[in-house]
Amino acid sequence: MDASLAIRSDGTAEKSFDLRLPASGFESSALACGQPLIISAGHAPGSFRVEHYGVKVASGHLSGPAINLLVFDTIFTAVPPLSDEDIVNAVSEAVLACNPHLICVEITLADDDLAKRLLETGAIERSGERLIVRPESFFQQARSWLGSVPSSYPEVSTLTNGAVHPQRPPKPAGRVYSRFIPWLNAQLGFHVADIEADLPHFHRWMNDPRVAAIWEDSGDLSYHRDFIAGRLADPRTLPLIGTIGSVPFGYFELYWAKEDRIGPHYEVDGYDRGWHVAIGEDDFRGKAFVSAWLPSLMHYMFLADPRTRRIVGEPIHHHVQQIRNLDRSGFAKVKHIQFPHKKALLVMLLRERFFMDRLLLPDLTGLSTADGQPVLGSLARGA
């Protein structure tokens, strides 16, 4: 079940619909604010409230002659690291993530200085006399999902195995991305692999016959300890563990394409990034889960460095299901390439395609809640 608030989308003032939110509340900005902000429907019709550590930090309602204005009635003095920008962005995320059919949302703020700060980041925009939130701009606000705004590491060329590429920044540690998934009602996260904490499940995953058939990296604990340590030491790679509701479910290996084996096979840019995946837990397979982790992983790579314009992949050419998932997620099929160990299909996702087509919001047509309603967060795209 979900709670509903009345609202109207931009450009359709004559047609109203319900703004859907999870009945238990939408959890936003977990990394930026320590404890997630909870956005839920208020007691009065058309109202909402925002809580942090169980304390109300904001409230608002939907108003205006066409009932299309998102109004913040109160935003209480925040305690660091929570800011009033975090509160507005959390509500914007809840609205756009649970109602992806919205082209934009009009917003009104009593605090002109707050509006100025949000305008400077691109979280909101001016459209004539109005302030609006557009998903293609809003979902590039890194702090909401990364916990901070990453700085662009200085661009200094270096040489690795004959490839000239930008020097890579130091590896992050701990959790690097968190996003609430409305249709799972759970937080999805990625954290940098920790040898001691993650070795047991990583070892089990790599020895699973389904994973081993693709990765060919089965072995004993010592081998897998060295595997993770090697990836952590290599400036080219970033080994991540995916979690849903704090349960580890898969291994995700990111790499910079310029100095990777894929680099010589196309006109590679210095900030192109690629990835490999191993889903280790059978309970986390299927459409609802791949539609959560796949666009979220792409989101993280685009947010981690704004200079990343393209994400590439190299699935083995006969992995039909993976290629189908990539196709649905906006990846273009470029060409087949031959590696010593496999024939692969080079696929590519453009930054512009990802954000302009709102690919963070997947098409979950066919999935429904226990009471038969369409799941929250599905953006139907047709055939």
What class is the 24-143 domain?
alpha beta
- Strand, helix or coil for residue 213: helix
Residue 78 confidence (pLDDT): 65
* CATH code for the part of the protein at 156-355: 3.40.630.30
| Residue 369: its H or E element | none
pLDDT at residue 47, as a whole number? 80
Greatest CA separation for the chain: 67
Q: Angle CA(138)–CA(141)–CA(143) in degrees, nearest 5?
A: 145
Q: What is the pLDDT of residue 310?
A: 98
- Would you name the residues annotated as active-site residues? 314
Q: Do domains 24-143 and 156-355 have the same CATH topology?
A: yes
Q: How many CA atoms lie within 13 A of 252 on its CB side?
A: 27
Residue 42 is predicted with a pLDDT of 83
- Give the closest residue to 99 by CA, choosing from 381, 382, 378: 378
Domain borders along the chain are 24-143, 156-355
Residues 71 and 61: beta-carbon distance below 8 Å = yes
Q: What is the pLDDT of residue 102?
A: 86
**What is the reported pLDDT for 13?**
38
Tokens encoding 342: 């496999």
Residues of the chain with pLDDT under 50: 1, 4-17, 64-65, 67
State the pLDDT at residue 18. Answer: 62
Quick one: pLDDT at residue 15? 40
**CA 122, CA 152: separation in Å to the nearest integer?**
18
Instruction: In whole angstroms, give the CA distance from residue 42 to residue 59.
Output: 8
Q: What is residue 139's predicted lDDT score, i.e. its pLDDT?
A: 98
- Residues whose CB is less than 8 angstroms from the CB of residue 175 and which lie 6 or more positions away in sequence, other chains included: 31, 147, 189, 190, 191
Dist. CA 72–CA 299, nearest whole Å: 28
Determine phi and psi for 235, rounding to 5 degrees: -60, -20
Where are the alpha helices (H) located in the chain, listed in sequence order? Answer: 30-33, 84-98, 112-121, 135-138, 143-146, 195-206, 209-215, 221-233, 287-304, 320-328, 351-356
- What span, in angstroms and rounded, lies between the C-alpha atoms of 202 and 281? 10
